[in-house]
């Protein structure tokens, strides 16, 4: 069963990657999303990111993440998805997605599908705060 977490604690990429190590799998693919220093302000100019605060409809977010992971696991892969629900600053980790599979192609493809699906369907939102304004986004 996939490990799905929404957390307010820092995301430990090393510990999560180690959980995917398994003698049955020859590939581990990960995606680590971090907070970037520059965002686009309301007027379209670049603005320095002070921080981003994540929020979610938690019960539904967990259910949607499990739905995304289910077909990947049914194909024989192991899945870990952890998303932050904290206030983060540039370089902090917002999301970790890890997939272990027998071969690299399956792991890489599944990792891409999971992050794309997360961005499209999972009710997690961010409030970007920069030197000029605050904006809500997905």
pLDDT digits (tens, 9 = 90+) for 43-71: 667 778 899 999 999 999 999 999 999 99
Which of the pair, 126 or 41, is modelled with greater confidence?
A: 126
DSSP string covering 109-120: HHHHHHHHHHHH
Which of the pair, 128 or 10, is modelled with greater confidence?
A: 10
∠ CA 110-114-120 to the nearest 5 degrees? 145
Is the pLDDT score of 30 beyond 90?
Answer: yes
Is the pLDDT score of 105 beyond 70?
Answer: yes
Q: What is the pTM of this model?
A: 0.93
Structure tokens, 97: 């997605």
What sign does the CA torsion over 138, 67, 5, 11 have? Answer: negative
Topology of domain 3-137 in CATH is: Aldehyde Oxidoreductase; domain 3 (3.90.1170)
Residues contacting 132, CB < 8 A, separation 6+: 41, 42, 43, 47
Domain boundaries in the chain?
A: 3-137
* Percentage with pLDDT > 70 across the chain: 96
Is the pLDDT score of 42 beyond 70?
Answer: no
Residue 11 is predicted with a pLDDT of 98
């Amino acid at each position: 069963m996939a490990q799905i977490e929404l957390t307010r604690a820092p995301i430990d990429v090393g510990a999560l990657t180690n959980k995917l190590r398994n003698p049955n799998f020859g590939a581990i693919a990960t995606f680590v999303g971090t907070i970037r220093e520059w965002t686009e302000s309301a007027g379209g100019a670049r603005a320095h990111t002070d921080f981003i605060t994540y929020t979610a409809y938690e019960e539904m977010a967990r259910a949607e993440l499990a739905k995304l992971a289910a077909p990947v696991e049914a194909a024989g892969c192991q899945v870990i998805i952890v998303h932050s629900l904290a206030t983060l600053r540039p370089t902090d980790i917002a999301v970790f997605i890890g997939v272990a599979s027998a071969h690299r192609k399956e792991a890489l493809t599944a990792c891409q599908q999971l992050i794309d699906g997360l961005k499209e369907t999972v009710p997690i939102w961010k409030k970007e705060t920069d030197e000029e304004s605050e904006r809500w986004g997905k």
